[in-house]
Amino acid sequence: HTARLNGWVRHHCFHLPSFRFDITDARDFLSYNVTAKENPDWYGTIYGNGGASVSGEPGTVNINVAMSTAPRSTFTFGLFFPDFPRRHSRFATNGEACL
C-alpha cells in the first residue's frame, strides 16, 4: 500500500498559479473506495499499481493515469436501474460524443 508523491505549486505574486503532482511507484495503492450506500451507481474498492499525474492552472486540470488494477480490487457499475434515463440525460449513440 505504498506510492511516492512529488509536486509543486507556483505563482507570480499570488497570480497565474499552476501546479503539478506526480504519483510514482504505486504498489497495491488504494485508489478508489466507495460503498454502495455512498453511490449505488458505481462502487467498490480499487487498488492500483503504476503512476499518475495531476497538473493544471485555473480552469484546466489534466489527469493522466498509467495504472493497472491490483489483486483484491472489486468494482460494480449498475447500468440497469430504473431511473437511469432520468439521472443520465444523454448517452453517446451511433458514434456521437457525450455532452
Q: Rounded to two decimals, what is the model's pTM?
A: 0.68
Q: How much is the average pLDDT of 86-97?
A: 55
Strand partners, 67: 50
The answer on pLDDT for 83 being more than 80 is: no
What average pLDDT does the chain have? 86
Q: Where are the beta strands (DSSP E) in 1-99?
A: 2-12, 15-34, 42-57, 60-69, 74-77
Q: Residue type for 29, please?
A: F
Q: How far is CA 22 from CA 11, 55, 74, in A?
A: 18, 8, 25
